[in-house]
Every structure is written in structure tokens, then in C-alpha cells.
Amino acid sequence: MSNETIIDRCEARGLRMTGQRRVIAQVMEDARDHPDVEEIYARASAIDAAISLATVYRTVKLFEEVNILDRLEFGDGRARYEDADRDHHDHLFDLKTGEVIEFCDPEIEVLQEKIARRLGYELRGHKMELFGVRLKDG
């Protein structure tokens, strides 16, 4: 939750900054939602029409590997991405509508630490998330 931009963090990690990477970094910097790769590609294409889908895939994977982006899986078969450098929060995904709700609850934060510890995991530096699944019927 620093105020470095994604591009700053790329440079801090010594990534070679090509034009395409700058565009994708900017797209994710501006994103207030959780775009999937196709959507990131669409937004990047609006800035530089020459960017290829393969480059978007390679770049978000790279950014994820160096913890600049988080990959989210909501069970609809597509990976979604968001800026990793944000306050910790959880996601609730409505399987009916596809809507994603972000929220944060201090009790959950405490509980997550507790559970991780009980299970022998050291949560420090890792992330755990409450993943809400709303099934189709009652």
C-alpha cells in the first residue's frame, strides 16, 4: 500500500520496461475492477493497437511472479488480475451474476492468522482470502 505506481515497482524490481509493459502497467494502475486477460488486452489495445494477446498473457504472468499483480480465480474459468499493492481485502463472487464484491473485516483478518497458525502455516507475507460462493438454489 505504498504510493509507488506499478511502473515504479517494475523498475524497482529491475524489469526491462518496454512500451507494451508500460501500457499494461498503466491499464492495471487505472483499473478499479478485476479485469480478465481479454479485458486487459482490450484496454491496452485502446492505447496501443499493436499489442498482442500473447504479450498480455506473458506480462501479467511476469507481474504476478514478482508480486506486482495478484491473480484471482472466481471459478468461471478465467483468471482475473488486480494490483497486489493494496490494502488486504476479500472478494465475494456471486456465481449467479458474476458480480464481485470487495470487503474487509478485521475479525476475518484475525481469524485468518489464527487458522493459518493452527494449520502450521506462517501467514506472514502470504495471503489468505475469504472466498464466497453462492450456489444456485436454496
CA angle centred on 130, ends 134 and 31, rounded to 5°: 90
| Per-residue interface string for the shown chain with a copy of itself, residues 106-125, x marking contact by CB under 8 A | -xx--xx--xx-xx-x--xx
In this structure, how many other beta carbons lie within 10 angstroms of the beta carbon of residue 77? 7
| First-last CA distance in the chain | 39
CA distances from 68 to 107, 118, 120, 121 (A): 27, 29, 27, 23
Q: Does 42 bind DNA (CB under 7 A)?
A: no
Nearer Cβ to DNA, position 118 or 136? Answer: 136
Q: Which of 6, 36, 69, 74 binds DNA (CB under 7 A)?
A: 36
Nearer Cβ to DNA, position 50 or 101? Answer: 50
Q: How far is the CB of 21 from a copy of itself (least distance, A)?
A: 20
Nearer Cβ to a copy of itself, position 50 or 88? Answer: 88
Q: Where are the alpha helices (DSSP H) in 35-128?
A: 37-47, 53-65, 106-118
**36 DSSP assignment:** B
80 within 8 A of 74, measured Cβ to Cβ: yes
Q: Which residues bind a copy of itself (CB under 8 A)?
A: 65, 67, 70-71, 73-75, 79, 92, 101, 103, 105, 107-108, 111-112, 115-116, 118-119, 121, 124-138
Provide the binding-site residues for DNA, judged by CB under 7 A: 15-21, 36-38, 48, 50-55, 57-59, 61, 77-79
